[in-house]
A and B are shown apart, each in its own frame.
Chain A
Amino acid sequence: MSPTPTPALVLDDVSVVRAGRTVWSQGTLAVPAGAVVGVIGPNGAGKTTLFQVALGLLPVAAGRVEVLGAQPRRGDRRIGYVPQNYTAALGDAIRCRDLVTLGLTGHRFGLRRTSDADRARVDEALRRVGALEYADRRMSQLSGGQQQRVAIAQAIVDDAELLLLDEPLANLDLRNQQEIVTLLGELRRERSVTIMVVAHDLNPLLPVLTDAVYLLDGHPHHDPIGEVVQEDLLTHLYGTTVRVVRTAQGDLFTRATGPDPA
């Protein structure tokens, strides 16, 4: 047994090829258990692809991957996943509660009623994200922030050890963004879950991030967040001038100051 906990995600010289094109290569990193990791990089850099590798949905072309100490495999129940544009795709044909229940029992074949124990777990997940009061409504009847909470409830209902959230803050207003970020911080503390978040905008996440995985020049890298929030690195990463502002409270802000588009 190793003295330190098993890392949540290990890449060892991993390359990923999709439709004949190398998405990224030479990925070597270890995401420590219990981290809150921002996954950042320009469009098309392969952030979602990294999640698909971790979920066992996409085999790697080369190298070795370990997720929570095991080879990635589809249906690993220790991973909770919220895809990109997830809530937009859900119509009015499902109640929030039933969607969360599917996260627990949706893979089971056969005619079985949902047990009381399972129902209690669904209620607990909904309560944890603050979605209990609208649990019996349809997904389409909720605001974007409410939908995102339900999506997170579905991801944590089976007591996931690793949460993969793809753009959970997209299309949310500032207040809802902050509430989701606060929720992520709480989940990490209470459940010692590792959280990886794909985000275009790092700013709202900075209060809770401990680490970052950034996709730069076709390779994934991993660093503690303090080392990532550097002007020259972020400027290189996004291809536009980025400035880092440190306030008295120690908050970090990044701001693009590229040439005026007008």
Chain B
Amino acid sequence: MSAVAASVQFQSDWWQVLQTDFMRNALLGGSLVAIAAGLLGYFVVVRSNAFAAHALAHIGFPGATGALLVGAPVTLGLAVFCVGGGLLIGLLGRRVADREIATGTVLAFATGLGVLFASLASANASTTTSVLFGNLLAVSDDELVVFALFTLAVAVVLALIGRPLVFASVDPAVAEARGVPVRALGVAFVVLLALTITMAVQVVGTLLLFGLVVTPAAAALRLTARPGRVAAIAVAIALLSVWVGLVLAAMVDLPPSFFVVTVSVLVWVAVLVVVRARGRAPAAAGSGCAHTAEGVPTAGRASVL
């Protein structure tokens, strides 16, 4: 007990810690990841791709340790494996949820490969740990540039394909009949997801990635079903998680991954509780339907679809 107490200690100099270069990089890098993850979250949830997102992160693990083995940048290894794995999953089918067994098998193999590469590279335990659990405090200037480019790519491509991608995600059968290139959009999406996961792995690690890519969007979807608003709220929750997580980590001098994910999960739980409480309140005027209360007023007219 005293050992635990000794390791969790309030750092009175946390404000100075926040001013340091590595903290600045962590804030900037974390924010970029939060933006990309929040933008894609709606699609991950709607396309039932949460498991694939998780799998992609694990596919990145051998990429990262393999990069250590050959002496390449970890980001490059992650990007090559995530995008490659993403393309593979994207080409396998538009609804990856239907392929849980295949995805799970690939996931297991990838993790095994990652462990092999790690031991071949005789990487020390802390390197492996930082891939598995993320190490936001180790984001370098070069990686920051890569993060900025990735996030920009995600935002620009999403602006261009957003509307047909929503159509193809919620309503693939009709979208296909209406001439939307459902399959190509699925591949494009999974590549964007792979880029985002490449970044997110370095922030929260392969094992905690869910908390940044899926949880904020899941919370946002409880509040509204309008894709544009879901993206905006998910970005806000993800940013809040990264910022508050970093400050808390600085205050007690512990790795930020735990705090980032914890904030995101707490927001999700809070949203669930609030929406459920509202759902029990007398329903708004409407016809005899079991769940009439939409979580958020829908007065705004402009569709952000």
Q: Which residues of B contact A79 (CB under 8 A)?
A: 177
> Which one, B42, B174, B292, B303, contacts A81 given CB within 8 A?
B174
Contact (Cβ within 8 A) B170 A91: yes
CA distance A171 to B206 in the complex (A): 43
- Which of B42, B160, B180, B291 touches A106 (beta carbons < 8 Å)? B180
Q: What residue of chain B has the Cβ atom nearest to residue A95's Cβ?
A: B225
Do B180 and A107 have beta carbons less than 8 Å apart? yes
What sequence of 0s and 1s flags, for each residue 158-191 of chain A, a beta carbon within 8 Å of any chain B beta carbon?
0000000000000000000000000000000000
Contact for B170 among A55, A90, A105, CB less than 8 A: A90
Residue A77 interfacial (CB < 8 Å): yes
Comparing B20-28, B116-124, B161-169, the segment that makes contact with chain A is B161-169
State the CA gap A113–B173 with chains docked (Å): 24
Report the nearest A residue to B172, measured CB to CB: A89
Is B253's beta carbon under 8 Å from chain A? Answer: no
* A107 and B292 form a contact (CB under 8 A): no
Cβ contacts under 8 Å, B180 to chain A: 75, 106-107
Given the contacts A90-B171, A133-B286, A154-B174, A102 and B166 also touching, CB distance less than 8 Å: yes
Check if A109 sits within 8 Å of B161, measured CB to CB.
yes
In the complex where A105-B163, A107-B179 touch, is A137 in contact with B171 (Cβ < 8 A)? no
Contact A106 B225, beta carbon cutoff 8 Å:
no
Determine how close the nearest CB of chain B comes to the CB of A91; give it in whole angstroms. Answer: 7
Q: Which of A94, A106, A138 contacts B175 (CB 8 A)?
A: A106
Is B69 part of the binding interface, using a Cβ–Cβ cutoff of 8 Å? Answer: no
Q: Within the complex, what minimum Cβ distance (angstroms) separates A126 from chain B?
A: 13
A-B pairs under 8 A by CB, number: 128
Residues of B within 8 A of A57 (CB): 176-177
Q: How far is the CA of A75 from the CA of B180 in the complex (A)?
A: 7
Interface string of B141-164 (1 = CB under 8 A from A): 000000000000000000111111
Query: Is B287 an interface residue when CB atoms closer than 8 A count as contact?
Result: yes
Q: Is the C-beta of B46 less than 8 angstroms from some C-beta in chain A?
A: yes
List A contacts of B301 (CB < 8 A): 119
How many of B's residues come within 8 Å of A, CB to CB?
Answer: 38
Please give the distance in Å from A8's CB to the nearest CB on chain B: 16
* A146 and B288 alpha carbons, distance in the complex (Å): 11
Q: How far is the CA of A131 from the CA of B74 in the complex (A)?
A: 53
CB distance from A107 to the nearest CB of B (A): 5
A42: CB under 8 A from chain B? no
Q: Are B163 and A108 in contact (CB under 8 A)?
A: yes
Determine if B225 and A94 form an interchain contact, defined as CB atoms under 8 angstroms apart.
yes
A103 touches B170 (CB 8 A): no
Chain B interfacial positions (CB closer than 8 Å to A): 42, 45-46, 159-164, 166-167, 170-171, 173-180, 221, 225-227, 230, 286-287, 289-292, 294, 298, 301-303, 305
A residues neighboring B (CB under 8 Å): 55, 57, 74-77, 79, 81-83, 86, 89-95, 97-99, 101-103, 105-114, 119, 133-134, 136-138, 140-143, 146, 154
Having A108-B163, A143-B289, one finds 17 other A-B pairs with CB under 8 Å, namely A76-B179, A77-B179, A81-B177, A86-B174, A92-B221, A93-B45, A98-B225, A98-B227, A102-B163, A102-B167, A105-B163, A106-B171, A107-B178, A110-B160, A119-B301, A134-B286, A136-B298
Some 27 contacts from A to B, beta carbons below 8 A apart, are A57-B177, A75-B177, A75-B179, A75-B180, A81-B178, A90-B170, A91-B170, A93-B46, A94-B170, A98-B226, A106-B167, A106-B171, A107-B178, A108-B164, A111-B159, A112-B163, A114-B302, A119-B303, A133-B286, A134-B286, A136-B294, A137-B294, A138-B225, A141-B290, A141-B292, A141-B294, A146-B289
